[in-house]
Amino acid sequence: MRVWSKPARVVLVVAGVGLGACVLAFLGALFLAVAPANSVSKEYRSELDAVVYPEFEQNWKLFAPDPLQRNVAVDARVRTIGPDGQVATGEWHGLSAGDWAAIRHDPAPSHLDQNLLRRAWDFYESTHGEGDGTAAAGNRGELAEQYLKRIALQRIGPGGDRVIQVQLRATATAVAPPPWSGEQVDTAPHARELPWWPVQAEDRRGLW
């Protein structure tokens, strides 16, 4: 029978108490997050959201999933200006393609790789019409534009010359129904190209 030394027993007890306290705190945070609004949950809402989202998000999709009915590929390109004042337009960068490559064959893909860009584009579409997107719907529309712009700039990287404009496009392709279904769906890709957005120093702050 192994006999633990006194220091070892102290370490084990402290570790056990600490682990138990962390578990209780975590379970308490989950309880407050799903419980009806009260004074405690209102006071510490930001801290509770930091614990719960996105890994422990509570919604009905677990029980009634609504699978995506289209694939959206988002691309971006930038316009730069060199030291000699020469303006150049870069090639399209496949932002969604990079996410898909990171997810493919990964048994535990990153939540960010799966949803960050997709939700950013959904957010943009919810705040803009079907046109070229020049008119944003209030502050949320401006926020959606800034969100997409910063994602594109971060993914493309600083490069060499100074970036002065960025442009995005999204190509949506409907998922074909199964062969046994009689539903007729247009599976041709439909592209939506946004206008060029100016890039200021503030847009690049904290990206690299």
Share the mean pLDDT of the chain. 86
Please count the structural domains in the chain.
2
Which tokens sit at 52?
């719960």
Q: pLDDT digit string (tens) for 42-98?
A: 888 888 888 887 677 666 665 666 667 889 999 999 999 988 989 999 999 999 999
Same domain, 104 and 186: yes
> CA-to-CA distance for 15 and 21, rounded, in angstroms?
10
Owning domain of residue 27 = 6-60
167 located within any domain: yes
For 2, other C-beta atoms within 10 Å of its C-beta total: 3
> CA-to-CA distance for 67 and 172, rounded, in angstroms?
15
Q: pLDDT digit string (tens) for 112-155?
A: 888 899 999 998 988 887 765 555 556 788 888 999 999 999 99
- For residue 36, the model assigns a pLDDT of 85
Last residue of a domain, one of 15, 42, 60: 60
> CA-to-CA distance for 59 and 53, rounded, in angstroms?
11
Residue 173 above 90 pLDDT? yes
Report phi then psi at 162, rounded to 5.
-75, 130
